[in-house]
Structure 1
Amino acid sequence: MDLFNYNSPFSRFMMRLVDVIVLSFLTLLCCLPIITIGAAFSALYYVLLKMVRDTEGSIVRSYFKGFKDNFVKGTMLWVIMAVIIFLLYMDFFLLSNVGMDHSDLIRILLLIMSAFIIMVGNYIFPMQAQFENTVWGTIKKSFLVCVMNLPKSLLLLLIMACPLVILLFFPETVYFLPFVSVAAIPYLKTQILVRVFDRYMPEDSEGEISGETQ
């Protein structure tokens, strides 16, 4: 087998790797204003969902189309998530700096709650990119899909932890891993998300997940 043949596994892997690096750069660039983080990650998943299904066209053009189409709702979702993250941070901060009874139990409960919020959050921007819905509808459906697909939701959580594990055992990767992980981890997660979302694509009734893609 010709290693450098266009259709060889090696060539396809290298092309995907280049795509992931380009998407990482675009996402980081669009995250710089901070307020646009939601739109940036919605656009990232807009492209990744097409990429995993082998229906993507131009990566750059598709990314900026996804960014434009999801800007308003993606930004609103990000603001809501940022508030929740801040509140959780303050809870842990107060727990660490203010003497409380049963602080260990409270810390465990906060960790469990944080893990569940992260699990639901794993669906927020992909849902925004895939399905047409209101902001509240996206949050509600993300919660329901997370609960109804709990094993896959736990797997998504484990995938998110992969960079931390790699950094723990290979600290030298700190120079490039965070950059590549911006799109690489969502790409791995999208392999699972596509199988989850495809279960709901036929639904097209009011109040249900729409099969209409953006």
Structure 2
Amino acid sequence: MEMAEFFNLDNPIWRFMGKVFDMMVLTVLWVVTSLPVFTIGASTTALYYAGMKLAKDQEGYVVKDFFHSFRENFRQATFMWCILAGLGIFLITDLTWYYQFKSGVGVMIFFMFVILTAFYIMILTYTFPLLARCQAGIKKILMLAFMIAVKNIGWTILMITTTTCLLAIGVFVCAPVLILSVGLCAYLHGKILYVVFKQYHFVLE
């Protein structure tokens, strides 16, 4: 490879490094804007907005894209997060409580909550990407998230598995991966989401 070609910004190596850097930036932005906790919904929506653009090679300035979505969806995403966070706490509390029971009824209720938690995670997987890509009320977003998660169960499982594996690698194997993990997750999910959302005409050009 000639030196002039190597230093060309359109070189595949530089484009790859540029995407890696953007993923790191997205990770930092998501962590910083999620620190107040109640803003996690808005920061996750912004993460997917910028991440899906990155996955589609439509990225401009990830910081600008991130904060554009953060401001635009702040109110609805924050309200949605409060609802989902409350529901998540309820499910975790009940799972912990009924896990201690060894009787037949207690075991049945425990497994019922396991199933409900699985559906909750599936809905959570699509809720904020949907907020990032379509205009709709909270009730409709949740219904769409459930419908899409169930109808595309294979992609849904892959997205959940990807998130789990990246976090596990970062926490238990290689801590530096965490610097990239959130942005990389949004990028990989973005690739999948464009395939899934295209069926329902949710993809914005």
Equivalent position amino acid for 2:178 in 1: P
SS at match of 1:34: coil
Aligned to 2:177: 177
Determine which of 25, 50, 54 is the counterpart of 1:51. Answer: 54
Aligned to 1:199: 199
Aligned to 1:204: none
Equivalent position amino acid for 1:47 in 2: A
CA drift of 1:4 comes to: 5.2
Equivalent position amino acid for 2:192 in 1: I
Aligned to 2:188: 188
Q: Structure 2: give runs of 5+ residues left out of the alignment.
A: none
* Paired positions, count: 202
CA drift of 1:40 comes to: 0.4
Task: Write the distance in 2 (CA, Å) between the matches of 1:84 and 1:155.
Answer: 23
Equivalent position amino acid for 1:43 in 2: A
Aligned to 1:95: 98
Task: Write the distance in 1 (CA, Å) between the matches of 2:137 and 2:159.
Answer: 24
CA shift in 2, pair 1:106/1:179, >3 Å: farther
TM-score in terms of structure 2 length? 0.88
CA drift of 1:141 comes to: 0.9
Aligned to 2:21: 18
Q: 2:101, 2:107 within 8 Å by CA — same for their partners in 1?
A: no
CA RMSD of aligned residues (A): 2.3
Q: 2:30, 2:44 within 8 Å by CA — same for their partners in 1?
A: yes
Equivalent position amino acid for 2:182 in 1: V
Equivalent position amino acid for 2:91 in 1: L
Task: Write the distance in 2 (CA, Å) between the matches of 1:153 and 1:74.
Answer: 21
CA shift in 2, pair 1:151/1:172, >3 Å: closer
What are the within-5 Å matches in structure 2 for residues 1-214 of structure 1?
1=1, 5-98=8-101, 100-166=103-169, 171-173=172-174, 175-201=175-201, 211=202, 213=204
Equivalent position amino acid for 2:93 in 1: M
Runs of 4+ in 1 over 2 A off after TM superposition: 1-10, 96-113, 163-168, 175-180, 211-214
SS at match of 1:176: helix
Task: Write the distance in 2 (CA, Å) between the matches of 1:25 and 1:186.
Answer: 13
Q: 1:132, 1:212 within 8 Å by CA — same for their partners in 2?
A: no
Task: Write the distance in 2 (CA, Å) between the matches of 1:199 and 1:172.
Answer: 37
Equivalent position amino acid for 2:123 in 1: V
Task: Write the distance in 1 (CA, Å) between the matches of 2:83 and 2:199.
Answer: 27
Q: 2:51, 2:187 within 8 Å by CA — same for their partners in 1?
A: yes
